[in-house]
Amino acid sequence: MNFDPRFSGRKFASVGTRPIRPDGVDKVTGRARYGADFNMAGQLVGRVLRSPHAHAIIRKIDTSKAEALSGVKAVITAADLPDLTDGDAAMYDILDNCMARTKALYDGHAVAAVAAIDARTARQALKLIEVDYEVLPHVTDVDEAMAHHAPLINDTIFTEGLEQKPAKASNVTKRSQFGHGDVHQGFGAADFIVERSFKTEQTHQGYIEPHACVANVSTDGTADLWVCTQGHFVYRQHCAQLLGMEASKLRVTSSEIGGGFGGKTHVWAEPVALALSRKAGRPVKLVMTRDEVFRASGPTSATSIDVKIGARKDGTITAAEATLRYSAGPYAGSWAEIGAMTAFACYKLDNVKTVGYEVLVNRPKTAAYRAPSAPMAAFAVESAVDELAKEIGIDPVEFRIRNAAQEGTRSSYGPVYGPIGIGPTLEAVKNHAHMKAPLKANQGRGMACGFWFNFGGQTCVDLNIGMDGSVSLAVGTVDVGGSRASLSLVAAEELGIDYTQLKAVVADTSSLGYNDMTDGSRGTFSSSMATISAARNAIKILRERAAQMWDISVDDVVWEQGHAVAKGEKHGNLGKLSLKEIAAKSGTTGGPIAGHSELVADGAGVSFATHICDVEVDPETGSTRVIRYTVVQDAGKAVHPTYVEGQYQGGAAQGIGWALNEEYIYGKDGRLQNAGFLDYRIPVCSDLPMIDTQILEIPNPNHPYGVRGVGETSIVPPLAAIANAVSNAAGVRMTHIPMSPPRILAAIEAEREG
Amino acid sequence: MVEVTLWGALSQVAGGNSKVEVEAKDIRELFRKLAEQYPGLEPWIDRGIAVAIDGTIYRDTWSKELPPGAEIFLLPRLAGG
């Protein structure tokens, strides 16, 4: 990578402005095409048969009656998706999750699929498939799954991370541990200790657009896939591997995306649609229903967390410890490990220890949800921090400022921090008008901090200059939050042209080099770095072409504000050449002008946020309304401030839903009871106040413009901030998320009864 | 020579050492020599390990130099949402 990513401290003309996004008009007029909006001639309808059991051996599947039904063109089972994973355990889990092989591991696990001429026929065919199940005992609760008597979900799992391999299989796939110092000694030095246990229920990302794709496998073995995804290049890799194809023979085009938040980083329906198309010899469209999205895509972990924090009278934390148990669904994951790494990352601690346990349960395979695992850990830790401040008698903001990590602090997960933004977000909150606003009866205020790592990754961008001087920008990171606008601003900044002269698109997998997912808050961070690099490469060519047009040395040509300028006294009479003028002559000066970039964007820089929340709790019903909410977060540099604010507001809104209402409810039979938006209640506009934002800009030293990722951190503090607000309003510490009205009422009544 | 700190699970496959010394100029050489010294680490490297150099986390830039005296910390290679 011949590109210097270091922060340069330049002044900006385009970056930091707020133009309308290029995809905006199509989205508000209904023209934008999402996953289910693509159709092909001769297309069939795909439908999936799902297990009604939480845990069952599949003895036999008889598809003969379904296959005989008129209009059915293909029926598949696991036999049509043979194991080609070559010992790759993670890929095998993905394969098994797409189509159960020997056991159904959760309510909703796919066991067969059909492709038929219409939806009615496909539904009829599903009813004709006969599955002989041997129902097994199941477990859906994270704590119960760890008990010795719990039904074993996978008898080949022996807990990793223990000093000695255990003698017995268990549902705990891994133990991980982080920290430094001596917590026993630290607690010994404490004047006050708070020790609490917390629980959070499983939630779904709640994206409005369900998973949808159209697959078309040709008889020559090549294929096209049109799909709603956060990462079409990764989908191509996974689908190609699972179906035994060469990746280059599968072209994947990403549609517009109606929300992903980590939930569209894994394949579920796509390999099934491709296998159906391969068998039927026709295109197959497969769209999940909302019921299927809830039962069979990838929600976040349910958790059970114990926290212990000690501090001296002067407000210095002396020790902090947490044990975190995260559900992973029926396949191994690293969700508790992330929770253990992030739990105390906001604080300067001499003695800290966190232990994480990954726990198998008969629920859908856990997927990432926006700063995965961090919100639950922050809920537990920030609740205990608030309680400890109260016990000591220190203002909770002052307490956090006194213990906040800073440059040079050893993080709780290991390394020493460089320049970080937790201190500035806390100072901003301390001085924010929100903190001084009066509260009425039954109202409470809470605040909390949050941390997320942020990531970069493999990235590729093409920048093509048309003969009319307009510029096409082809990027490979799916636009989940306005990145086409941000990247256009970055290209405009580098080229010195107007934003309206550019058009950014998300290219398909056959048109651009490999790109990692849009995850880890990396879309704008990574692709802006590649866009800067591509634009600088294009400028080099523009200078060469101008030199040709002037018949002078390229060394005498500089690029200034969208123009080639000849420098030096001997070229004093030459006027500037605009990008448009150079482009118009490109056919005779060497052909098309373009800039390309392929790089690994690394050094994303960690991110911090602090949120303030006011709630009003009705003591008669336990109902809670969020009446004011403020997000303060470090963006490094806000390329398009409106879309940065949108990320802040979106994270807060999702966090409010998670904190107050959302939860997967399983019956004793192991079946999901509320697989729909009527019974799984996400917040709508009328539930929310205007969410205020304050963008801090502490430059990331590892990006030319100082950009940091902003997409995920905003969901980390809300659970804790709202829990602290509700606890202050209700006068009782809330320890179980969501704080739904029955839980709040029960807590108030328990407190009254002493 | 750089001193490398391993996280808990990794130190278990490195003979119980939480800190090891390696003569390496960049991340690629660091991984190669670690795998030579501690063969049990190789599958972990294949699955993915992130390297924090003075607090900045690198996941894929194996050409990244390890400055003398820098704090080198190995971490699980995580993904986001």
Per the prediction, chain A carries an average pLDDT of 97
Q: Do A520 and B81 touch (CB under 8 A)?
A: yes
Q: Do B56 and A605 touch (CB under 8 A)?
A: yes
The answer to whether B69 contacts chain A (CB < 8 Å) is no
Has residue A556 got a pLDDT over 80? yes
The answer to whether B3 contacts chain A (CB < 8 Å) is no
Check residue A593 and give its pLDDT. Answer: 98
Nearest to A418 among B7, B56, B64 (CB): B56
Q: Do B12 and A337 touch (CB under 8 A)?
A: no
Q: Do A457 and B5 touch (CB under 8 A)?
A: no
Check residue A56 and give its pLDDT. Answer: 98
A557 burial level (CB within 10 Å; 0-12, 13-18, 19+): buried
Q: How far apart are CA A286 and CA A301, in angstroms?
A: 26
pLDDT, one tens digit per residue, over A356-409 is 999 999 999 999 999 999 999 999 999 999 999 999 999 999 999 999 999 999
* Cβ-based contacts of A174 with chain B (< 8 Å): 9
Residue B22 Cα, gap to closest chain A Cα (Å): 18
pLDDT band at A163 (very low <50, low <70, confident <90, very high): confident
Q: Please say whether the beta carbons of A216 and A270 come within 8 A.
A: no
**What is the average pLDDT across A493-497?**
98
Nearest to A416 among B63, B64, B71 (CB): B71
Check residue A580 and give its pLDDT. Answer: 97
Has residue A583 got a pLDDT over 60? yes
Check residue A573 and give its pLDDT. Answer: 85
**What is the average pLDDT across A716-737?**
98
Check residue A643 and give its pLDDT. Answer: 97
The answer to whether B79 contacts chain A (CB < 8 Å) is yes
CATH code for the domain defined by B2-76: 3.10.20.30
Interface confidence, given as ipTM, is 0.94
Angle at A426 between CA A424 and CA A428, to 5 degrees: 70
Here the contacts of A536-540 (C-beta below 8 Å, separation 24 or greater) are: A536/A3, A536/A494, A536/A595, A537/A463, A537/A595, A537/A596, A537/A597, A538/A463, A538/A465, A538/A495, A538/A593, A538/A594, A538/A595, A539/A494, A539/A495, A539/A595, A540/A595
Has residue B18 got a pLDDT over 60? yes
Check residue A569 and give its pLDDT. Answer: 84
Q: How far apart are CA A628 and CA A436, in angstroms?
A: 12
pLDDT, one tens digit per residue, over A195-254 is 999 999 999 999 999 999 999 999 999 999 999 999 999 999 999 999 999 999 999 999
Check residue B79 and give its pLDDT. Answer: 87
- 3 state DSSP class of A690: coil
pLDDT band at A421 (very low <50, low <70, confident <90, very high): confident
Q: Do B81 and A262 touch (CB under 8 A)?
A: yes
pLDDT, one tens digit per residue, over A64-80 is 999 999 999 999 999 99
Question: For an interface test with A, which of B6, B11, B53, B61 has the most A Cβ atoms less than 10 Å from its Cβ?
Answer: B61
Question: For an interface test with B, which of A455, A459, A608 has the most B Cβ atoms less than 10 Å from its Cβ?
Answer: A455
pLDDT band at A164 (very low <50, low <70, confident <90, very high): confident
Q: Do B78 and A411 touch (CB under 8 A)?
A: no
pLDDT band at A122 (very low <50, low <70, confident <90, very high): very high
Could you write out the DSSP letters of every residue in A192-208?
EEEEEEEEE-------S
Task: Check whether the bond before A738 is cis (ω within 30° of 0).
Answer: yes
Q: Do A178 and B8 touch (CB under 8 A)?
A: yes
- Give the domain ranges of chain B: 2-76
pTM: 0.97
pLDDT, one tens digit per residue, over A596-614 is 999 999 989 899 999 999 9
Check residue A570 and give its pLDDT. Answer: 86
Has residue A95 got a pLDDT over 60? yes
Angle at A438 between CA A432 and CA A441, to 5 degrees: 140
Q: Do A417 and B12 touch (CB under 8 A)?
A: no
Q: Do A338 and B75 touch (CB under 8 A)?
A: no
* Cβ-based contacts of B59 with chain A (< 8 Å): 455-457, 602
C-alpha to C-alpha distances, A667 to A107, A359, A743, B47, B79, nearest whole angstrom: 11, 19, 18, 37, 32
Has residue B66 got a pLDDT over 70? yes
Q: Do B78 and A338 touch (CB under 8 A)?
A: yes
Nearest to A519 among B7, B58, B79 (CB): B79
Q: Sketch out chain A's domains with CATH numbers.
A: 24-32+456-601 (3.30.365.10), 35-137+206-296 (3.90.1170.50), 303-414+431-447+606-753 (3.30.365.10)
C-alpha to C-alpha distances, A24 to A20, A257, A417, A476, nearest whole angstrom: 7, 13, 39, 19
Q: Do B56 and A455 touch (CB under 8 A)?
A: no
Q: Please say whether the beta carbons of A646 and A628 come within 8 A.
A: no
Has residue B15 got a pLDDT over 90? no
